[in-house]
Structure 1
Amino acid sequence: MPEFDDLLAANREYAEDFGLSGFDGIAHAGIAMVTCMDSRIDPLRMIGLAPGDAKILRNPGGRVTDAALVALVLGVTLLQVRRVLIVEHTRCAMASSTEDELKGRVGDAAGTDASWMTLGAIDDQQNTVRADVLRVRSHPLIPDDIAVGGFIYDVDTGLLNPVT
């Protein structure tokens, strides 16, 4: 697979001084973050953490999907997560188009109909973050003593802004 040669070479270099061998897999800083898959976001560094400190869950828009919720339940019950951050961001493609517009763009790019898919366009980021925070806080398998906060990350300044 020559398409991956550059990445495999970089991986070999990374593995030369790999420091997480034997790591136990828990979140050593007790943090989990649900955030967008946007490549402008560096989830660990933006909150001063390093590999091994947190569980990072990424998807389009940074939504608390069913799969993200399962991961959070596992994190708080088995992996020592005590704080959960829900982080959307400015200039997000999922928040700058309607569902129909996104489906049209995907369909055009793929050359086939995408109208059957649910992509998850976000109408109002502040309200979406609030709803996702509530979804986590109200889950019966997430204890009340778990701190859950909602934020919008500014991709132009690097700052996290709390959503109240």
Structure 2
Amino acid sequence: MSHVTKEFDDLLAANRRYAKSAPRGFDGIAHEGVLILTCMDSRLEPLEMVGLRVGEAKILRTPGSHLTPDALAGMVMGVHRLEVNRILIIPHTKCAAASRTEAQTRDVILETTGIDTGDFHFGVDPDQLGRLAADVEAVRSHPLIGPYAKVAGFLYDVETGLLERQV
């Protein structure tokens, strides 16, 4: 493979170590009935933050924990194919996706790269709690989710590790 470079060798070596003890034999069902939509931020450990283990929940990640068409599709699949009956939407404090507007994000990228992002939509929103409430309502009112699963919104504090229910 001539297109593969040494830039990923450390990760492949780590994967070989991981593969020796990787969890196996799971059926793909969310055995605790939980689906978590949270941010892509690497400070968040979604299973551990709610006391669950591999195989007990489905995890979806988007910038800012925002509801996207793909996240919504994952929720519908989770509810109807993977035994999900509880959905948690969990943004967090000190989130980059809640620190700027779309225009400000475009300006920062233009300033640092010289590249105009045009009308690219980043999905950022400085009204983090307003966005959370809207996303929870959208999921609760969705005809393929609302009647089948409980939905709630929480804010994760990256300093304390605590969740606080918002919606």
Q: For 1:35, which of 33, 38, 46 is the aligned residue?
A: 38
Residue 108 of structure 1: how far off its partner (Å): 3.4
Letter in 1 for 2:131: T
Partner AA of 2:48 in structure 1:
R
Of residues 4, 11, 15 in structure 1, which corresponds to 2:15?
11
Q: Does 1:112 align with 2:106?
A: no
- Counterparts of 1:125 and 1:60, CA distance in 2: 12
Partner SS for 1:55: strand
Tell whether the 8 Å contact from 1:32 to 1:75 is kept in structure 2 after alignment.
yes
Q: Identify the range of structure 1 (112-121 vs 148-157) with the bigger mean alpha-carbon deviation.
A: 112-121
Give the residue type in structure 1 aligned to 2:98. Answer: A
Determine what percentage of the aligned residue pairs are the same residue: 51
What corresponds to 1:152 in structure 2? 155
Aligned partner of 1:6: which letter? Answer: D
Give CA-to-partner distance per residue, 1:19-61, whole Å, 9 cap, x none. 22x3211111111011110111111111111111111110111
Q: What residue is the counterpart of 2:94 in the other structure?
A: 91
1:78 matched residue in structure 2: 81
Q: Return 5+ residue gaps in structure 2 as ranges.
A: none
Match status 1:25 vs 2:39:
no
CA contact (8 A) 1:129 1:150 kept: yes
TM-align CA RMSD: 1.3
Gaps of 5+ in 1: none
Match of 2:47 among 35, 44, 48: 44
Secondary structure of the residue aligned to 1:89 is coil
The two structures have a TM-score, normalised by structure 1, of 0.94
- 1:49-90 Cα deviation digits (max 9, x unpaired): 111111111011101111100100000000000100001111
Instruction: Report the TM-score, using the length of structure 2 for normalisation.
Output: 0.92
Alpha-carbon separation, structure 1, partners of 2:146 and 2:94? 33
Q: Residue by residue, what CA displacement relative to the aligned partner does 1:86-138 show, whole Å, maximum 9, x if unpaired?
A: 01111111111121111112233443111311112213222111111111111
Q: Does 28-37 or 137-146 show the bigger shift? A: 137-146
Please state how far the C-alpha of 1:157 moved relative to its aligned partner. Answer: 0.6
Question: In 2, Cα distance between the equivalents of 1:5 and 1:121?
Answer: 33
Aligned partner of residue 91 in structure 2, secondary structure = strand
